[in-house]
A and B are shown apart, each in its own frame.
Chain A
Amino acid sequence: MENFLYTLIIPVILFFSFIFTGLSGNKFKPAVSGIICTATVFISAALSYWTAYQYFFLHGKVNGVYQIINVYKIEWLKFNETLSIDIGILLDPISVMMMVVITTVSLMVHIYSIGYMKGDSGYSRYFAFLSLFTFAMLGLVLSVNIFMTYMFWELVGISSYLLIGHYYNKPSAVSASKKAFIVTRFADLGFLIGILLLSAFAGTFDFNELTNPNGNAILQSASTTFMGLSAISWALILIFIGCAGKSAMFPLHIWLPDAMEGPTPVSALIHAATMVVAGVYLIARLFPLYVFTSPVALEVVAHVGAFTSLFAAIIACTQTDIKRVLAFSTISQIGYMMVSLGVSGYGAEEGLGYMASMFHLFTHAFFKALLFLGAGSIIHAIHTNEIYSMGNLRKYMPLTHITFLTACLAIAGIPPLSGFFSKDEMLVAVMEKNIFLFAVQYVVAGITAFYMFRLYFTVFWNKDKKYEHVPHESPNVMLITLIFLAVCSALAGLIPFSQFVSSNGVPFSTHIHMNIAIPVVGIALAGILLAYALYKKESLSPEKIKNSLGVFYRSAYRKFYIDEIYIFVTKKIIFNLISVPVAWFDRHVVDNTMNGIAYTTNFVSEKIKYMQSGQLQQYAFIMVAGMILIFLLTLYLIIV
C-alpha cells in the first residue's frame, strides 16, 4: 500500500503559516502575509489533489472496496488503557473528498481576498485567521478519533468567531460573533455529553472501532436503556445536537444569518462551503453507528433536516439583504443533505441517500461559495447589502452576472449543471424511503428556484438604482476565482460520484431517474417563472402578494421570531432570572452570614469586655455573688 505520510503536510503547513503570519504579520507589508498564506494553501491544495488521485485511482481500493487508511496516529492524551485522544490522519472516501473541497474553496477565497480585503487595516490578521480556519477544518475532517474531531470542532468554532468579528469596531459584528460562538457552544455541550456517553457504552473514542459494523461498539451497544431509548441512541441524538449547532439546523440556526457580519469571503468559505457542513460530515463519519444501533436517531436527523429546509426556504423568500438570503438558502440546502442522510441505509445501492448527501455537499460547496463571492463582488462595487438598492447590474458587471447566473441555475437544479445531479439523487433516495419527506423536499426545490431568481432578477435586471458612483467590475484577481468556481459548479455534477463515495466503500453506478428528474426540473422552472413574473416583468405586484399574505409574510420576514425568543432566553432568563439572583444571593445571604458571624463575635466581645474593668470592688462582688450562687445550687441539689 502506498505510503500516504505526506498528507501530514497538508494541515500542518497551514498551522505554521498561521503562527508565522499571526506573530510577525505586522512586521512586513500587508501584501506579504496575503502571499505567504495563499502560497501555503496552494501547496495544501496541490497535495490534496495528489492524494485524491493516489487514493481514488491507485491505492485506495483493495478488492474493489475503498479502505479506511490510518496514515498516522499518535497518542496525544491518555485517559486509561482504552480511552485516549489520538491525533492522526484518517483517509477514506469522504475525508479525501472533503479535503479537496476545503482546500479548493479555501484557495479560491484566499486569492479572492487578496483583492477584496485590499487596504483593510486588519489584512494580515485576516489571512492568519483564514489559515487557522483551514487548518482546523482539515484537522476536523481528517481526524482518527471522535475526541480529535471535538477538538478541531472547537477550533473551527473559535476561528469562525474571530473572523465574524473581523470588523471589531462595529458593535453589530462583535455581537454577531459572540452569538455565533455561544449558540454553537451550547450545541457542543450536547456533542460533548454524547461523546461521554459513547465512551461509557462503547469504551472507545477511536473511529475505526466505533464505525466498524462488526466491531464491539456496534454489537454491544444496545444494552442499557433510559427513558425508552437505548443509551447509544441518546448519545447519537446528543451528537446530532452538536451537528445541528454547527450546521445551523432549526432551532440552533439563529447564529448563521448574523454571522454574515463577517467579511464576505469568510461567509463563502466558512458559512457556506465548509464549516457549516461539518455536522453533515460528522453524521456521515459515524454513519454505521447510526444505521446499526439507532434508527430513531436517524429519523430525528431526517425530520429536523426536512423541517429546517422548508422553514429556511420560506424565510429566504422574504429577506432583503443579499447575504442573508444566501445564508437562509445555505441552511435550507444543509437541511436537504440531512434528510438524505437520515433516510439512507447501509450498503452500496441501499446507501444511495448517503452518497447523494455527500454529492450534494460537494456540489453545494462550489455553487454556494460562488454565490457568496459573487455577492461579495457586488458589495465591493456598490457598498450595500440591500437588494432593493441594486438593479440592472448586468450592464456594469458582465462577468459577475454570468457566473452568478450559473450558480443560480446550479442551485435551482437545472440540467446539466451540478445541482441537478446531486438533487436528483437525493430526491430519489428520499422518495424510496419516505413519501412525506419527499413531498416536503419537492416543494422546497420549487421555493429554492423562486428565491434564487427573485434575487437574481432584482439585482441584475430592472432599472438602474441611484449609485454613489458608477458600479465597476471587480479586479481580475477576484474574477479569476469566480470563473474557476463557475466552471466547477457547472461541471462538478458530471463526476460519477457513486464510483468513489458510498456508505460501505463499495462503488456502484447510478443513473438519472426521469420519473423524478422531470417533475423536479418542472417545479424549478415554475419557481423561476414566478420569480420572473414578480420581479422582472412586475406584471404581478410583489407588494400585493405581501399584503395578501399579511401576518404570515411579516412573521417570515421577522424570521418567525426565533431571534426574539433567543434574546428573551439569554437576557431575561439567564441574565435577569438566574445570574442576577445568584449574585445577589452570594453577596447578601452567603456573605452576610459570614459577616454576621464576625459581627456577632465582635458584638459579644464588645459587650463582655466591660467585665474586665479593673475595679476591685466589682471583681469582689462578682466573686461573692458566684460563690453564693454555687452554694445555693449545691444546697438545692442535696435537698432534691
Chain B
Amino acid sequence: MDLILLILVPVLTLAALMTAGTKAQARMIAAAGTGVQLVLSVYLVIVYLMERGSGNIEQMLFTEKYVWFNTLNIYFSTGVDGISVSLILLTAIVTFTGVLASWDVDYLYKEFFISLIVLSTGVFGFFISLDLFTMFLFYELAVIPMYLLIGIWGSGKKEYSAMKLTLMLMGASAVLLVGLLGIYSYSSPTGATALTFNIIEIANVDIPVEAQRYFFPMVFIGFGVLGALFPFHTWSPDGHSSAPTAVSMLHAGVLMKMGGYGCLRVAMYLLPEAANEMAWIFIILTSISIVYGAFGAIVQTDLKYINAYSSVSHCGLVLFAILMINEIVMNGAVLQMISHGLMTALFFALIGMIYSRTHTRDIREMTGIMKLMPFLSVCYMIAGFASLGLPGLSGFVAEMTIFVGAFQNTDIFHRSVTILAASSIVITAVYILRVVAKILLGPAGDNLPSGIKDAVWNEKVVTIILIVAIAGMGLVPLWLSDMILNSLGPITEKLALIK
C-alpha cells in the first residue's frame, strides 16, 4: 500500500473543508474524510498482516523515499512496522470518533474541523516517517493546532492553558531538536557529506557513547514531556480541562502516544548504550509518575482533572515499560499506548457528553445520573473497568504484559519498582470507583437540569466504536500482541547487544 495516501486523504479533506459553506457540510466532509482514513487504516493493518504472512521479514514495509532537501540529505522517507501500524489504526479510530463527538460545534465550525484535521495529519505523518527531520516536522504540525483549538474553542482558563501547553511542548521540542541534530551529526562514520536523518540507516552506525550521554536525555525528555513525564506533566491537567471534547480525546488518546513512540523509536533505538546506562534515572521519574498521578487523581473533583491525572499515571506506565528494556515489557508499552488511547478517548468523549447535559463537571454536584442517562452511565462504567484493568477489556492485557515483562529483569531494583508500579492497580480502583459511586450511583440528584435525555445517534456511534475496540483488544489480544512483538526484534536486539 502507498503510505502517502495516509497524508493525502487528510489533505484532500482539508481542501474540501475550505469550500464548505454550512455547518452541516463542514461536519459531513470532516466525518467522510476521517471515515475514509479509518477504512484505509484498517486496510493497512490487513495488507500489513498479509505481507508478513507471506514471509516478508523486512524491518519496515511499504517503504518509499522522496528527496526533500538534497544538500543536507533530508528525505521524506516512509515505512511502517507493527508498532506504527497499530498506532496508525488507533489514530484513525480516535480521529473519526473525535469528529463525531464534535458534531454540535457552533462557533467557527469550519476552522475547528480544519484545525482538527491538520492535527491528525501531523500525527499520521509522524507515525509513517522514517526520517528524523520529517518526523520532527510532523510532530510540530500536530502540536501547533492544539494552541488554537484550546485557545479558541476551549472553556475555563483557556488562554492560560493553551499558552502553558504550547510553551511547555515547544520548550521540549527545542531540546528535542538539539538532540536530533546531535544524532544527525554523528550519523555517518565516513564524513560530513554522508550524514543522514534516516532512522534505519542511523541504527547501523555506532554513535560514540560520550555523545549518546548528551543526546539521550535530550531526546528522551523532549519526547517524554509529551508523554507526561514527571515533573513536566503539569500542562496535562490544565490543557485537558480547558480543551473541547474532541481535542481532549485526540490529545490524550493520540498525541501523548507520539511521546512514547518517539522515546521508543528514537531515544532507545538509536542511542542504546546511553539508554542502558541512564535508564534508572528515568525509571525513577516514571515510577513517580505512575503512583503520583494515581494518588493525585483520588482527590480531584473535576472529571477532566481526574482523567488527566489518570493519564499521567497510565502514560507513566508506557515510559516506564519502555525503559525496562526487554521484548515482553516493550510489547506491553505499545499495547498500553493503544489501550490507554482508546479508553481515555472514550472517557473524554463521555465526559463531554455528560457535561453537555449537566453543565457541570464537578463530581460533588452530580449524583445518581444512572437513572437519568443509563446508556452513557453504563458506557462510563465500562470505560472505568477498562481503566482499572478488568480482564476482557484492553487495560488488563497491556498492564499484565508490562508487569510480567518488567519482572523478568532479575535485579532487586527493577523488581521493586515493578511492584511499586503494580500497586497502582489498587489506587486506580479507588479513584475509578469513587467517581462511579459519586456520580453514577446513589439516589438521583434534583439539582440537575430537568428534561435530560440519553445519548443521541452520533454519541452512540462514538461510544460503541470505542467500546468495541476496547473489548476486541481485551478479548482477542494475540494478533495485536504478536504483530507488535515481531517488530520489536531490531530494537531489543540492539539494546540487548549493549547490555
**9-residue interface stretch from A173-181, A211-219, A348-356:** A173-181
Given A169-B442, A598-B164: A75 and B478 interface contact (C-beta under 8 Å): yes
Kindly identify, within residues 419 to 433 of chain A, every residue whose CB is under 8 Å from any CB belonging to chain B. none
Q: B385 interface residue, CB < 8 Å from A?
A: yes
Q: B61 interface residue, CB < 8 Å from A?
A: no
Q: A470 interface residue, CB < 8 Å from B?
A: no
Residue pair B390, A154 in contact (C-beta under 8 Å): yes
Contact residues in B for A150 (Cβ distance below 8 Å): 391
Q: A196 interface residue, CB < 8 Å from B?
A: yes
Q: A12 interface residue, CB < 8 Å from B?
A: no
Q: B54 interface residue, CB < 8 Å from A?
A: no
Contacting A185 at CB < 8 Å: which of B371, B425, B478?
A: B425
Question: Interface code B204-218, partner A: CB below 8 Å = 1, 0 otherwise?
Answer: 000000000000000
Interface centre among B232, B419, B429, B481 (most CB of A within 10 A): B429
Interface of B is mostly: helix
Contact residues in A for B433 (Cβ distance below 8 Å): 178, 181-182
Q: A525 interface residue, CB < 8 Å from B?
A: no
Number of interface residues of B (CB under 8 A): 57
A7 shortest CB reach to chain B, Å: 21
C-alpha gap A590/B237 in the complex (Å): 12
Kindly identify, within residues 286 to 324 of chain B, every residue whose CB is under 8 Å from any CB belonging to chain A. 292, 295-296, 298-300
A232 shortest CB reach to chain B, Å: 15
Q: A76 interface residue, CB < 8 Å from B?
A: yes
B369 shortest CB reach to chain A, Å: 11
B386 shortest CB reach to chain A, Å: 11
C-alpha gap A575/B442 in the complex (Å): 21
Contact residues in A for B426 (Cβ distance below 8 Å): 182, 185-186, 189
Given A196-B403, A586-B292: A174 and B299 interface contact (C-beta under 8 Å): no
Residue pair A196, B430 in contact (C-beta under 8 Å): no
Residue pair B403, A80 in contact (C-beta under 8 Å): no
C-alpha gap A134/B300 in the complex (Å): 36
Question: Interface code B378-421, partner A: CB below 8 Å = 1, 0 otherwise?
Answer: 00000001001111100011001101110110100000001100
B330 shortest CB reach to chain A, Å: 12
C-alpha gap A583/B232 in the complex (Å): 15
Kindly identify, within residues 359 to 376 of chain A, every residue whose CB is under 8 Å from any CB belonging to chain B. none
C-alpha gap A177/B436 in the complex (Å): 11
Given A154-B390, A178-B437, A193-B422: A79 and B292 interface contact (C-beta under 8 Å): no
Q: B451 interface residue, CB < 8 Å from A?
A: no
Q: A165 interface residue, CB < 8 Å from B?
A: yes
Given A199-B407, A200-B408: A79 and B396 interface contact (C-beta under 8 Å): no
Residue pair A79, B401 in contact (C-beta under 8 Å): yes
C-alpha gap A299/B188 in the complex (Å): 64
Q: B477 interface residue, CB < 8 Å from A?
A: yes
Q: B1 interface residue, CB < 8 Å from A?
A: no
Contacting B390 at CB < 8 Å: which of A80, A158, A189?
A: A158
Residue pair B299, A78 in contact (C-beta under 8 Å): no
C-alpha gap A147/B440 in the complex (Å): 32
By beta carbon, the residue of chain B nearest A199 is B404
Contact residues in B for A119 (Cβ distance below 8 Å): none
Contact residues in A for B441 (Cβ distance below 8 Å): 165, 168-169, 174
Question: Interface code A62-78, partner B: CB below 8 Å = 1, 0 otherwise?
Answer: 00000000000001111
By beta carbon, the residue of chain A nearest B404 is A79
C-alpha gap A211/B107 in the complex (Å): 65
Contacting A154 at CB < 8 Å: which of B391, B408, B419, B477?
A: B391
Contact residues in A for B368 (Cβ distance below 8 Å): 169
Residue pair A582, B390 in contact (C-beta under 8 Å): no
By beta carbon, the residue of chain B nearest A155 is B391
Residue pair A574, B430 in contact (C-beta under 8 Å): yes
Q: B19 interface residue, CB < 8 Å from A?
A: no
Question: Interface code B462-499, partner A: CB below 8 Å = 1, 0 otherwise?
Answer: 00000000000000011001100100000000000000
C-alpha gap A200/B411 in the complex (Å): 11
Residue pair B422, A582 in contact (C-beta under 8 Å): no
Question: Interface code A194-219, partner B: CB below 8 Å = 1, 0 otherwise?
Answer: 00110110000000000000000000
C-alpha gap A319/B390 in the complex (Å): 35
Q: What is the interface of chain A, defined by CB distance below 8 A to chain B? A: 75-80, 83, 85, 147, 150-152, 154-155, 158, 165, 168-169, 171, 174-175, 177-178, 181-182, 185-186, 188-189, 192-193, 196-197, 199-200, 574-575, 578-580, 582-583, 586, 590-591, 593-595, 598
A-B contact sample (20 more), CB < 8 A, given A76-B477, A83-B328, A196-B404: A75-B478, A76-B478, A77-B478, A78-B482, A80-B327, A83-B404, A154-B390, A155-B390, A158-B385, A158-B390, A165-B441, A168-B442, A182-B426, A186-B426, A199-B404, A200-B410, A579-B295, A582-B292, A583-B298, A594-B232
Q: What is the interface of chain B, defined by CB distance below 8 A to chain A? A: 164, 167-168, 230-235, 292, 295-296, 298-300, 327-328, 368, 370-371, 385, 388-392, 396-397, 400-401, 403-405, 407-408, 410, 418-419, 422-423, 425-426, 429-430, 433-434, 437, 440-444, 477-478, 481-482, 485
